[in-house]
Amino acid sequence: MHTPDYRYYVESYLMNPLIAIEHIGRTVVKGIEELGFATVLLVQAVFWIFVGSFKKQPVRVSAVFLQMMQIGVAAVPIVAILSFAVGIMLAIQGIHTLRVFGAERQVVYGIALSVVREFGPLITGILVAGRTGSALAARIGTMRVSQEVDALKVMGINPVRYLVSPVLVAMLIMLPSLTFLANLAGLFGGAVFSVAELGMSFTAYADRCYSILTTDDLAQGLIKSLVFAVIIALVGVTNGFRVTGGAEGVGRSTTRSVVLSISFIVIADMIFTYFLNR
Partner 1 sequence: MIRVSDLVTHYGERKILDGLDLTVFEGEILVIMGGSGSGKSTLLNHLLGLLTPTSGTIELLGMDFTHASAGNKQLLRRYMGMAFQNGALFSSMTLAENIQLPMREHTNLPQSTMDILTQMKLEVVNLGGFENLMPSELSGGMIKRAALARAIALDPELLFFDEPSAGLDPIVAAELDQLILRLRDGLQMTMVVVTHELDSAFTIADRIVVLDKGKIVFNGSVEAIRECPHETVVALINRQPQEQNQADSDAFIERLLN
- Among residues 126, 138, 19, the alpha carbon closest in space to that of 82 is found at 126
Q: Please, what is the minimum distance in Å from the beta carbon of residue 71 to partner 1?
A: 15
Q: Please, what is the minimum distance in Å from the beta carbon of residue 74 to partner 1?
A: 15
Q: Interface with partner 1 includes 147 (CB under 8 A)?
A: yes
127-146 residues near partner 1, rule: CB under 8 A: 139, 142-143, 146
Q: Interface with partner 1 includes 157 (CB under 8 A)?
A: yes
Binding track over 38-57 against partner 1, x by CB under 8 A = -----------------xxx
Q: Interface with partner 1 includes 26 (CB under 8 A)?
A: no
**Whole-angstrom distance, CA of residue 157 vs CA of residue 58:** 10
**Pair 76, 163: CB distance under 8 Å:** no
**Whole-angstrom distance, CA of residue 262 vs CA of residue 260:** 5
How many residues contact partner 1, by CB under 8 A?
16
Q: Interface with partner 1 includes 150 (CB under 8 A)?
A: yes
Applying CB under 8 A, among 34, 118, 148, 217 the residue interacting with partner 1 is 148
Q: Please, what is the minimum distance in Å from the beta carbon of residue 138 to partner 1?
A: 12
**Whole-angstrom distance, CA of residue 98 vs CA of residue 104:** 5
Q: Interface with partner 1 includes 151 (CB under 8 A)?
A: yes
Q: Select 100 or 154, whichever has its Cβ closest to partner 1.
A: 154
**Pair 262, 130: CB distance under 8 Å:** yes
Helical ranges in the chain per DSSP H = 6-15, 18-51, 61-71, 76-98, 107-114, 120-128, 134-145, 148-154, 159, 165-198, 202-212, 215-241, 246-276
Footprint on this chain of partner 1 (rule: CB under 8 A): 55-57, 139, 142-143, 146-148, 150-151, 153-157
